Structure 1
Amino acid sequence: MSNPTLISTFFLTFLLTIGLFFFIRASVKDRTEKEKIIFQVSKIPLMKQIKTYFEKRSYQIISNKEDEIIFEGIVRPSWFMAIFLSFLSSVGLFCFGLILSFLYQPLTPGFFSLVILSPITGLFYWKKACKAETVTVNFEHNTGETLDKPSCFILTGHRDEIAKFKKSFPLQLNN
């Protein structure tokens, strides 16, 4: 191959490696969101349903005030994601080592040994993804006190947890 082809291939591979690095880093990023939810149910029975729902999902109540409930649970990392990220990093490091071996042939064994570093990606994900996740339910004041008034609250938590909550409670009026 000609030298300009190798240099441009190296540049593209380097850019892909940077993208892979940010993809791996984003796998453990915090994805907390807030969502306002309104139900046509009074506040007290709704609070009991919410407590039961999150306790079934292995969350524990860490604070229970009049208009605010805070739940906490441990999020387990995914074996599939750890293996998948390790596989992606091994392919990326192999490609990077391959391009470097074409450019600097005397150091070829050293470049291919970069693949040995790929399990570090899985360990990084495993350590960072195992964390305590909190879900906060804030009821608005004076809503849902009687049966004719809807209950309105703000749910703050991981976006996947909010989506599962909304699917589990079909009584929702609007957001």
Structure 2
Amino acid sequence: MNNFSLISTFFLTLLLTIGLFFFIRASVKERTEKEKLILQVSRVLLIKQIKNYFEKRSYQVTSNQENKIVFEGTVRPSWFLAIFLSILSLTGLLCLGLILSFLYQPLTPMFLSLGILSPITGLFYWRKACKIETVSVSFEHSTEKIEDNSTCCILTGHRDEIAQFKKAFSL
């Protein structure tokens, strides 16, 4: 292999390794969103339905004010994602070690042993992903003209939780 192709392969592998690092970091990133919903249910009935829904999903009410309800629950990390990220990390580190071993052959065993570090990725994900998630539901008087039995609420929480909520309430 000529020197030019080896160096270009090294830089491409280095770029992929940097991308892998940011992908792993993004796996535990906060993804809070806010969504305004108008439901065709009276406010009293909607509050009861929302409380039942979040209690079934292992959330507890932490604050119950007149126009705002705050729920908290612990999000469990995914075994699949922890293993998947560790495998991706192992593959990336072995590729980087292989390219480095071509560039500097005396340290080949050390470069190829970089794969030993891959379980750290799974531990990083496991510790950071296990966190307390907060979902708040606030009710407002809409300035838009809506029907008498409709309720306008603003749901603030993790985007996956909002998607599940919309799916459960057929929105």
Same fold, judged at TM 0.5 (above) = yes
After superposition, the C-alpha distances for 1:31-61 in whole angstroms (9 at most, x for unaligned) are 1000000011111110000000000000000
Structure 1 vs Structure 2 CA RMSD = 1.3
Q: Establish whether residue 78 from structure 1 lines up as the match of residue 84 from structure 2.
A: no
1:141 deviates by: 3.6
User: Normalized against structure 1, the TM-score is what?
Assistant: 0.93
Q: Does the 8 Å contact 2:82/2:123 carry over to 1? A: yes
Q: Distance in 1 between matches of 2:80 and 2:107?
A: 34
One-letter code of the match for 1:96?
Answer: L
Question: What's the % identity of the aligned pairs?
Answer: 75
Q: Distance in 2 between matches of 1:36 and 1:141?
A: 12
Match of 1:27 in 2: 27
1:30 deviates by: 0.5
Q: Distance in 2 between matches of 1:163 and 1:33?
A: 10
How many residue pairs are counted as aligned between the two chains?
Answer: 168
Q: Does the 8 Å contact 1:37/1:154 carry over to 2? A: yes
Match of 2:41 in 1: 41
Q: Distance in 1 between matches of 2:36 and 2:94?
A: 47
User: Normalized against structure 2, the TM-score is what?
Assistant: 0.95
Q: Distance in 1 between matches of 2:115 and 2:39?
A: 53
1:142 deviates by: 7.5
Q: Distance in 2 between matches of 1:149 and 1:49?
A: 15
Q: Does the 8 Å contact 1:86/1:119 carry over to 2? A: yes
Match of 1:15 in 2: 15
Structure 1: state its 5+ residue gaps. none
Q: Does the 8 Å contact 1:67/1:141 carry over to 2? A: no
Match of 1:106 in 2: 106
Match of 2:162 in 1: 162
Q: Distance in 2 between matches of 1:133 and 1:121?
A: 22
One-letter code of the match for 1:34?
Answer: K
Q: Does the 8 Å contact 1:41/1:150 carry over to 2? A: yes
Q: Distance in 2 between matches of 1:142 and 1:165?
A: 21
Point out 4+ residue stretches in structure 1 off by more than 2 angstroms.
none
Q: Does the 8 Å contact 2:33/2:159 carry over to 1? A: yes
Q: Distance in 2 between matches of 1:160 and 1:140?
A: 23
One-letter code of the match for 1:47?
Answer: I
One-letter code of the match for 2:6?
Answer: L
Q: Does the 8 Å contact 2:142/2:152 carry over to 1? A: no
Q: CA 1:112–1:142 in 2, change beyond 3 Å: closer, same or farther?
A: closer
Q: Distance in 1 between matches of 2:131 and 2:121?
A: 17
Structure 2: state its 5+ residue gaps. none
